[in-house]
Structure 1
Amino acid sequence: MNSIWKNRLLMGVVVAIAIIVVVSFFRPAQAFMGEEEVRQLVVDQYGGEILSFTETEEFGQTVYQIQLATDRNQYEVMVDPYTGDILSLSLSSGNIEVDHDNSKDRVDENLLTHSEIRNILQSELGEEATILELQLTEQDGVSVYDVLFRQGQAEGEVTIHAQTGEILFYAVHDETRHAPVQPKQLIGEEEAIRIALSHVEGVVDDIDLEEENGRLFYEIEIELTSEDSEADVLIDAITGEVIAIIWED
């Protein structure tokens, strides 16, 4: 009797496995989303105009590769054909990763390009500074670029306002130990101008962030209101200390 029940139980297990295999075999594969649906999804999320739409392979995975043009820039968008998820979005002129949280309409902002960010970095830190990684993010509702760069044997990080090009944050890594030193939060151009005008009365003509011997400082040109001359005020970009005031006739 026990043998009969064991045989029946074994037969039931075999049949169940066979049913699962058959159902899995004949179940249709997950279908790709249609081209029109994906086009509409991308335009709704980022705006602009789609220039090309192709199906390709990326790291062994089938993806939709889309060229998207806005008023200012051209982007390459990679989309998962099954789910419609945006896998990546990068400027065609350079590798810029985009934080997709709250990203709608952000590609239409008047953002600086990869080459413009590189020029700003080299202007402030020297021609040897090269971009290793560039990521577009958002801080306090403002679009910024987080830039990882190499300068000589050292690496560092800067945060740059994505529209004005102002450097908001600067940190460099120790060259010998390859460990990060204390990050340096800059006082910002507005605070530097306020400090300068508290020492020299006039109208600000120009402001630049400079670096000398590892020290960052703002150089502020002020046209004096009392006489026909100018003054350059040098202010430490980290502490706000007035380094020097240079009077020019």
Structure 2
Amino acid sequence: MKKRWKQALPLLCGGAFLTGVYGMFGNDPELLHAEEAVEMMESRYQGEVTAFQALDDTYTMQLTAADGTYQIDLHPVTGEVLAFEPINEHGLAPSGESEGPERLDPSEVEAIVADTASGAVVTEMELKEEDKNVYDVVFSQDGASGRLEIDAYSGDIELFTLEEAVPVDPIDREEAAAIALEAFSGVVDDIDLEEKDGRLVYEIEVENEASDQEADVIIDAYSGEVLDIKHD
């Protein structure tokens, strides 16, 4: 038998909860804090929690959203939504009248990835429900690798990272010399390809006869970035 909403649920006021919210569960450090549970539900369902109570191994709360008012039963440890049911003026709606928000399916997640990162190809997708309901998505884009965390219900982007592709081969000596001469004009005397501090670099000696100056130009062997110019 479904529980009917109890009008006596303590109201939330300014983020302060009435005594008894933790009465059922004590101070077990593995439990979600009431404030954390409320914030999670308000963010996921874009509404405001107006009442909260700990009942029979669940956090039960009333949430008002743009499309109505709902009762949510939440597991106090995992954060899993156990029930999401609309409330009308007579209490809980009959079973089957509404099932609340549906979880996104993989094809919808792929569409979100495509909108977020043009040309991206999904290589891995995992639904994570331990502490929050998100899709963890790994994708490739133009040789680069990226990762997205997408809310499994709202489709909101929780995390977006993209690592630039690293060239497989270093630039050639001629290109390195041209970059060095742009940084310090003169004539190239010597070019060495070597590893410094775990980074492959070109060290290029350039001599400017007009000014009677010399410089060592250090260039990243992959990106061509000028890392340092040492004047002699």
TM-score, with normalisation over the residues of structure 1?
0.34
* Greater helix proportion: 1
Which of structures 1 and 2 has the larger relative contact order (alpha carbons within 8 angstroms, sep 6+)? 2
TM-score, with normalisation over the residues of structure 2?
0.36
